[in-house]
Amino acid sequence: SEETSMKGALIGCGFFAQNQLHAWRDIDGAEIVALCDRDPERLAATAETFGITRTYTDAAAMFAAEELDFVDIATTVQSHRPLVEMAAGAGCHVICQKPFAETMDDARAMVAAVEAAGRTLMVHENFRWQSAVRKAIETVRSGAIGTPFFGRVAFRSGYDVYSGQPYLAEGERFIIEDLGIHILDISRALFGDVERIAATTKRVNPKIRGEDVATMLLAHEGGVTSVVDCSYATRRTPETFPQSLLEIDGAEGTLRLDAGYSLVVQTGGNETVTDVSPPILPWAERPWHNIQESVRIIQQHFVACIDAGTQPETSGADNLKTLALVQAAYRSAETGETVRLSGI
251 vs 143: CA distance, rounded Å: 10
C-beta separation of 336 from 342 below 8 A: no
By CB under 6 A, tell whether 39 contacts ligand NAD: yes
| Segment near ligand NAD (CB under 6 A); pick from 7-15, 104-112, 224-232, 261-269 | 7-15
Radius of gyration of the chain (CA): 20
63 to 82: interface string for ligand NAD, x by CB under 6 A: -----------xxxx-x---
207 to 226: interface string for ligand NAD, x by CB under 6 A: --------------------
Q: Are strands 70-73 and 148-156 parallel, antiparallel or unpaired?
A: unpaired
152 to 191: interface string for ligand NAD, x by CB under 6 A: -------------x------------x-------------
What does 331 bind: ligand 89V, ligand NAD, none (CB cut-off 5 to 8 Å by kind)?
none
Closer CB to ligand NAD, 196 or 330, in the complex: 330
Alpha helices in 276-315, H assignment, sequence order: 289-308
- Site for ligand NAD (CB under 6 A): how many residues? 25
Determine the angle formed by the axes of helices 316-335 and 104-116, rounding to 10 degrees. Answer: 170
C-beta separation of 230 from 176 below 8 A: yes
What does 52 bind: ligand 89V, ligand NAD, none (CB cut-off 5 to 8 Å by kind)?
none
| Of 254, 264, 268, 315, the residue nearest 120 (C-alpha) | 315
- Residues binding ligand 89V (CB under 6 A): 161, 165, 178-179, 242, 291
What does 38 bind: ligand NAD, ligand 89V, none (CB cut-off 5 to 8 Å by kind)?
ligand NAD
State phi, psi for 49 to the nearest 5 degrees. -55, -40
| Of 33, 79, 78, the residue nearest 56 (C-alpha) | 33
Q: Which residues pair with 153 in a beta bridge?
A: 228, 246
| Of 67, 87, 64, the residue nearest 12 (C-alpha) | 87
283 to 322: interface string for ligand NAD, x by CB under 6 A: --------x-------------------------------
Interface contacts to ligand NAD, rule CB under 6 A: 11-17, 36-39, 42, 59, 74-77, 79, 97-98, 124, 126, 165, 178, 291
